[in-house]
């Protein structure tokens, strides 16, 4: 599992680092949400693929290693997709030009590892961005681990579990695909700040519903029985909805917002900040949620007994997340205005000598007119009487 998490982190660093390199902020508002469309179409098909191999194992005869057959089939698909990624990366590098960016006036000195960490800690912008990432990791861990414990209790056999997870992946892909289509409208109409606050809001509302059902499931058992549900099955379904909605908001809004926040930064802060956040803060968020749960279990004896306190911790973390998003929104807007001002100044600096040359018809004459504005033009000079001409 640690290798899986490491691979996921490095894939994220490599992909989004490459995307940030070839994309401007204005392009990112349009295309970053669309980048996830392909990924979530793939999520729908991958869910159906897992479902297919799960059903295939059930139909195999005795003595046949169904798990080995399904594993070889799925890994063959993974290798094929990896080769396709390599080809597309090569093609983009050779055919897509890099966008021109304004150079930052303040050059950052070269720093070692410790100096870089101190620099990142001292940066309010990076600190707020790290808060978003860590808060998401802890929040989703607090609800997801509890949900998966209920899921394993409801579906104890591997085939039942993998079959349900295949349906879950498909539903997540469909929900995220829909959110991707809406996200571009959200960015254009409401801007970065509103888009960044949607994910914690969704996670807070659905998390409250999930924890409430766990805490008050037994009193609701008679009402749930009328719908053919047990408290455990209802908790599994509500937890699945919570994960689907929160992950669809993450993929369609949170990830694009996070990556767009890097673009206005200077190159030194961008590279070091992204490496520190994606490689350090992502695992910190996941492990932080696990440590909180372990501490609660040791303190209160079980995960069920600690559920009310986990809900309170979730509330505090999400509120901190919303505060960091609000702070980062102001800083992001200021950096964007500064970048736009620099571009306007660069465009003005390029236009000035061209206009001067066109007006004068001669570069040196335009320069002399500019340096001596009181002298007038040649026609005025010839028509104006002067004392030397009368003498």
Which structure tokens are listed for 46? 């991958």
Q: What 3-state class would DSSP assign to 18?
A: helix
pLDDT of res. 101: 53
Q: Please write the tens of the pLDDT for every residue from 55-74.
A: 777 777 777 777 778 788 88
pLDDT in tens, 191-214: 889 999 999 998 888 887 788 778
Torsion 257-259-265-269 (CA) sign: positive
For residue 376, report the phi and psi dihedrals to the nearest 5 degrees: 75, 180
Distance, in Å, from the CA atom of 335 to the CA atom of 33, rounded to the nearest integer, reads 22
Ranges of each domain in the chain: 2-59+111-346
Q: Is the dihedral of CA 318, 323, 324, 328 positive or negative?
A: positive
Higher pLDDT, 372 or 27: 27
User: Residue 343's pLDDT is what?
Assistant: 75
Helices and strands, counts by H and E, the chain: 15, 0
pTM of the model: 0.64
CA 228/CA 73 separation, integer angstroms: 37
Q: Rounded mean pLDDT of 308-321?
A: 88
pLDDT at residue number 359: 47
Average pLDDT over residues 146-170: 82
User: Domain 2-59+111-346 carries which CATH code?
Assistant: 1.20.1250.20
Residue 116 pLDDT level (bands cut at 50, 70, 90):
low
């Amino acid at each position: 599992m640690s290798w899986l998490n490491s691979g996921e982190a490095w894939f994220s660093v490599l992909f989004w680092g490459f995307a940030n390199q070839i994309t401007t902020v204005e392009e990112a508002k349009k295309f970053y949400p669309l980048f996830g469309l392909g990924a979530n179409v793939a999520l729908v098909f991958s869910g159906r693929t897992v479902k297919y191999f799960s059903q295939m194992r059930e139909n195999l005869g005795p003595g046949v290693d169904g798990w080995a057959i399904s594993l070889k089939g799925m890994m063959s698909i993974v290798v094929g997709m990896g080769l396709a990624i390599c080809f597309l990366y090569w093609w983009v590098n050779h055919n897509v030009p890099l966008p021109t960016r304004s150079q930052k006036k303040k050059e950052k000195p070269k720093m070692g590892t410790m100096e870089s960490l101190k620099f990142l800690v001292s940066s309010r912008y990076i600190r707020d961005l790290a808060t978003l990432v860590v808060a998401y990791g802890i929040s989703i861990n607090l609800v997801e681990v509890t949900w998966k414990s209920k899921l394993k209790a409801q579906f104890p056999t591997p085939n039942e579990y993998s079959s349900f997870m295949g349906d879950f992946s498909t539903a997540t892909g469909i929900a995220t695909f829909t959110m991707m289509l809406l996200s571009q409208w959200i960015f254009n109409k409401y801007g970065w700040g509103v888009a960044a606050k949607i994910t914690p809001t969704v996670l807070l509302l659905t998390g409250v519903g999930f924890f409430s059902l766990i805490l008050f499931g037994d009193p609701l058992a008679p009402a749930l029985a009328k719908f053919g549900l047990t408290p455990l099955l209802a908790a599994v379904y509500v937890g699945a909805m919570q994960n689907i909605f929160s992950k669809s908001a993450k993929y369609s809004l949170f990830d694009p917002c996070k990556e767009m926040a890097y673009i206005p930064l200077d190159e030194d802060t961008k590279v070091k900040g992204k490496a520190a956040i994606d490689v350090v803060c992502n695992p910190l968020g996941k492990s932080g949620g696990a440590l909180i749960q372990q501490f609660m279990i040791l303190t209160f004896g079980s995960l069920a007994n600690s559920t009310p306190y986990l809900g309170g911790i979730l509330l505090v973390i999400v509120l901190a997340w919303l505060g960091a998003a609000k702070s980062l929104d102001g800083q992001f807007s200021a950096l964007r205005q500064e970048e736009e001002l620099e571009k306007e100044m660069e465009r003005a600096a390029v236009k000035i000598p061209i206009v001067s040359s066109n007006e004068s018809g001669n570069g040196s004459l335009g320069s002399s007119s500019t340096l001596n504005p009181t002298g007038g033009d040649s026609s005025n000079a010839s028509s104006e009487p002067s004392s030397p001409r009368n003498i």
